[in-house]
């Protein structure tokens, strides 16, 4: 049995994702010309998107990583945000772009944005590969959005269910019987 057997349908192919990263990278390059760009990604889910997006940005920039958790091994957020690994970079005066895999309820990203804003960056914006507005609980919006997705459980391209499926080269909808067992 392969990972592909657990997927109900493919939402975005590997080729579509590469093209979307190129498009978003070009816009970010334009918007951040002459600025002090710091890309911050939230591991683990955003790592694949982050690396593709970062390579599509044609500007000098620095990077840093955080590990933030609010899911555990379930499919629904716990609502409690835990910083597992904080940034190593001083944000003062930096133009911060938070790179996230999916904007779902918005609780984690809202908490993160408020926390990072207190560290005196010059600006904060958000880039997300996937936006799931039907599930939003916090008043937060991304500045750069790859795709709006339906309220289904998506995996692949870094996104996981119970730490599996991150290595799929596409974004797909996981069959409900996989996560409702």
Q: What residues are labeled active site? A: 104
Strands 62-69 and 82-85: antiparallel
CA gap 49, 7 in Å, rounded: 20
In Å, how far are 5, 62, 69 from 90, measured between CA atoms? 44, 11, 22
CA terminus-to-terminus distance, the chain: 17
Residues 6+ apart with CB under 8 A from 107: 70, 77, 79, 81, 137, 138
Nearest to 100 by CA among 112, 89, 91, 90: 112
The residues facing 10 across adjacent strands are: 172
């Amino acid at each position: 049995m392969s990972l592909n057997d657990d997927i109900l349908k493919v939402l975005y192919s590997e080729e579509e994702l590469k093209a979307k990263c190129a498009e978003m990278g070009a816009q970010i390059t334009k918007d951040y010309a002459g600025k002090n760009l710091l890309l911050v990604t939230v591991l683990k889910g955003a790592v694949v998107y982050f690396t593709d997006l970062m390579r599509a940005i044609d500007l000098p920039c620095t990077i840093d990583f955080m590990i933030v958790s609010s899911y555990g091994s379930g499919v629904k957020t716990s609502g409690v945000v835990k910083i597992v690994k904080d940034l190593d970079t001083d944000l003062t005066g930096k133009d911060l772009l938070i790179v996230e895999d999916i904007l779902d309820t918005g609780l984690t990203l809202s908490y993160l944005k408020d926390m990072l804003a207190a560290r005196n960056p010059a600006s904060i914006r958000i880039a997300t590969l996937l936006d799931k507005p039907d599930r939003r609980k916090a008043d937060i919006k991304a500045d750069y959005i790859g795709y709006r997705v339906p309220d289904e459980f998506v995996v692949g391209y870094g996104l996981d269910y119970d730490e599996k499926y991150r290595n799929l080269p596409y974004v797909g909808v996981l069959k409900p019987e996989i996560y409702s067992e």
